[in-house]
Structure 1
């Protein structure tokens, strides 16, 4: 939680329609343990628990997503904005997204569909309400008083800048001991506080969750997180929110010893390549750009914070956003996280809710964007699964906005983001000869393809015309009989 090249031609309407169409929903698979090759995370932002459960069964499992990241489940302050979920009032698993029993049922259902569950865990702070109040589940609280949990001595009171708020991000002490926008900052160096936080995380582990996205990790020393991790009842996947700042004393690399870390530069740089620079520059995208090592990073085009802060592509960019996600899911850097948003026009706007601010069941494309269902994005998840461990090979670019590459014998993607079609040329895919479903434009299932079929010859080549602002992708998991 934290606070295009201008084109002479618009995106072709037909191309946008093909990229944004929802993918077909397959029949639910038999219950199975999640595959080790399933690394893609779907962030179902602010979805309620019954809706997450249904999505695991009907979409996430069948499409090959490995994880679902759910929004904070603890009791929070009352209100409509999305950020109320990031202001805990207690550690009870009861929120506007559902009850403890519904949460438990959701975890079980997702596991049955082969999808692991990551919880967005708010452990750096409690609420930011000066006057306190009553939380969603009825717990009373004050800004520094959470009966039976924390009192004023359990919080930092840094007294800087005429108050307790962070002002200077070049001051390590201030960033980790002052308040992020008035949110009561927990004294995570205290063993008592660490034990209470671990107690909350262990409660979630007892409900079967598989991992945690640790919100505001930058505002806690890496050693404090390590100490909390040491109190967990069993192993769990961790990804930490640490936003890179050039020249700042706190860097994402400090946290890799605890688990994965979000690579915030990825989405901003990818947007810049699509908007104002050249896709050709992506030839060595990743660690060579100064990013975290691939094995320690979670990459994303956008998340719930960055899509509100600007500088990234979001669902509002339509076809460009779909193509950026296609690239991310085809390119071997980090663990990719796909954003699934609700529609918003204001920065603070909350999810679709009833009169009491209880989150409504998700109805895709009616208040909810469901980008994870867009054909390009959903189908490229299987591409990612099919190409795990395969190196990039056969890179091609025209020096500008037309690129192509293979994943050594397992898959091939070409993106043409020029304002004109590329016609009359062939591409060396390097995959076994045969007929393949173009998963950018069609769904593969039961040995058939609902869209165009690409024929790769015995030498590994295929011919195709690529429309402006469009793409073609094939992989060995979508090979036709």
Structure 2
């Protein structure tokens, strides 16, 4: 499926150098994918593979893919493993494609440094739909479509319309990568008819607020800017691109490298009522090109977990951090409730989600009285796994202090979250989408 690279590190982006649709890579085989999907479904999780439908490998490249497929992007049939011939690719003039990038939608969709598939051809559409249908047969529940902004919306929709229903019933859930800026000639709204759209502006504005003044958190979501409406937005604190510096120049992105601010960003994202959140799960890297932890022969290392659930062997597993996993539970419970009782200073913020849940967090440890919006009672702080209880009086007020971790318990989490569990959780709607791949 993927081209071998001469880079000794086997960079992370080699997965985007497609040479066939065989499911053979250093992550495993087709059988491994099927077993993963089956295991995840048993535990209530769904699988959304990241798919590249626009490009094949770089023009003029040649070699052997990880699945054993030979290719040569100079041949008449450059990718025999599919097969694709030269007639299956776009042909645009160099002068047109070398024009300033991003200001012309036709240029963005018809040009590119890799072999750019002509999705208007019925045979190309059928091959791409066939690949997606095979993933559905193996257990995929939908797809994250890479470089969707470089694909004509109606042609992409025609391909996805050929994909069968998922095994559990219903249509595949689709996420589309469409960067969103004022200058960008391609607009996310062109893709709303297909699925959810990635919202990059949120991550940048959130990072600036968490690292700056908490009082700006109230305006992180500003739909007067080019931000995707909540019911179409797939949001994240970071993703594989922007945690490697691939974002607007000067933007502040929160990553696992600073766990404290990262947990604050994730807690806010999961507690707030905007978009559909995606939680990142990373590996450690020192070079932005570096691939995942691997053996000397480049097979990916297993994720090793200790008795406390922490990961090692080069893996970060942010989604397992208690302050983040607990907030997934919070999100599931409060779901569609409104944000109320907004209370903010430069370095603390607190708010309720109707009468279903309450969050308070601070840049530093704090002890304050907040309006929780919850009925009177004693509530368990889910961030500390109930090591702290919060007593709410008849007026909804409570004195809130984060759990003080001991030296052996790791870094202090200046976050408190409580739930009104006398009310049933709204839905598990977010649970099966947060940990997609």
TM-score normalised to structure 1 length: 0.77
| Aligned counterpart, 1:474 | 418
Which stretch of the first structure deviates more once superposed, 324-333 or 400-409? 400-409
Q: Does 1:452 align with 2:392?
A: no
Offset from partner CA, 1:171-191 (integer Å, 9 cap, x none)? 212111111xx2211111222
| Correspondence for 2:360 among 414, 439, 446 | 414
- After alignment, is 137-146 or 192-201 more displaced? 137-146
What is the match of residue 370 of structure 1? 317
What does residue 288 of structure 1 align with?
Answer: 223
Counterpart contact for 1:434–1:455, Cα < 8 Å = yes
With over 3 angstroms needed to count, the CA separation of the structure-2 counterparts of 1:350 and 1:300, relative to structure 1, is same
Note if 1:89 corresponds to 2:35. no
**Map of 2:351 onto structure 1:** 405
Q: For residue 262 of structure 1, report the CA deviation from its aligned partner.
A: 0.3
Could you tell me which residue of structure 1 aligns to residue 434 of structure 2?
Answer: none
Please point out which of 393, 400, 414 is paired with 2:340: 393
Give the alignment partner of residue 232 of structure 1, picking from 153, 163, 166: 163
TM-score (norm 2): 0.85
1:264 aligns with 2:175: no
Seen in structure 2, the aligned counterparts of structure 1 residues 386 and 154 have a Cα distance that, compared at 3 Å, is: same
| Residue 397 (structure 1) shift | 1.5
Q: Distance in 2 between matches of 1:104 and 1:167?
A: 43
Tell me, in whole angstroms, the C-alpha distance in 1 between the residues paired with 2:422 and 2:95.
59
**TM-fit CA distance, 1:129:** 5.8
The answer to whether residue 6 in structure 2 is matched with residue 77 in structure 1 is no
Query: C-alpha distance in 2, partners of 1:186/1:414?
Result: 49
Provide the secondary structure at the position in 2 that maps to 1:345: coil
Residue 388 of structure 1, CA deviation:
0.8
The corresponding residue for 2:268 is: 327
Distance in 2 between residues matched to 1:131 and 1:257, nearest whole Å: 35
* Pick aligned residue for 1:218 from 149, 170, 180: 149
Tell me if structure 1 keeps the 8 A contact 2:319–2:325.
yes
Correspondent of 1:112 among 42, 56, 60 = 42
Work out whether 1:209 is the aligned partner of 2:140: yes
Match of 2:285 among 344, 350, 359: 344
1:279 aligned residue: 214
User: Tell me, which stretches of 5 or more residues in structure 2 are unaligned?
Assistant: 166-170, 305-310, 405-411, 424-437
**Over aligned residue pairs, what C-alpha RMSD do you find?**
2.0
Counterpart in the other structure of 1:13: none
Aligned equivalents of 1:246 and 1:288: distance in 2? 12
Whole-Å separation in 2 of the counterparts to 1:338 and 1:123: 24
User: Closer, same or farther in 2 for the Cα pair 1:371/1:99, shift >3 Å?
Assistant: same
**Which range moves more in the overlay, 454-463 or 119-128?**
454-463
Q: Aligned residue for 1:380? A: 327
Instruction: State the aligned residue count.
Output: 390
Q: Would you say the 8 A contact 1:240–1:261 is kept in 2?
A: yes
Is 1:150 aligned to residue 97 of structure 2?
A: no
Aligned counterparts of 2:254 and 2:328: Cα–Cα separation in 1: 19
Contact 2:337-2:353 within 8 A present in 1 as well: yes
**Mapping of 1:37-52 within 5 angstroms?**
none
Residue 361 of structure 2 contacts residue 415 of structure 2 at CA under 8 Å; is this kept in 1?
yes
- Structure 1 pair 172/288, CA: closer, same or farther in 2 (3 Å)? closer
**CA separation of 1:209/1:154 partners in 2, compared to 1, >3 Å: closer, same or farther?**
same
* C-alpha distance in structure 2 between counterparts of 1:275 and 1:287, whole Å: 18
Greater RCO, 1 or 2 (C-alpha within 8 Å, sep 6+): 1
Q: Give 1:287 deviation, angstroms.
A: 5.1
Q: Note the C-alpha offset of 1:158.
A: 1.6
Kept after mapping to 2: 8 A contact 1:439/1:473: yes
CA distance in 2, matches of 1:453, 1:371: 25
Tell me the residue number matched to 1:134. Answer: 64
Q: Structure 1: which 5+ runs fail to align?
A: 1-74, 444-448
**1:437–1:478 contact (8 Å) kept in structure 2:** no
- Residue 428 of structure 1: aligned partner: 371
User: For residues 101 and 165 of structure 1, what CA distance do their matches in structure 2 show?
Assistant: 42
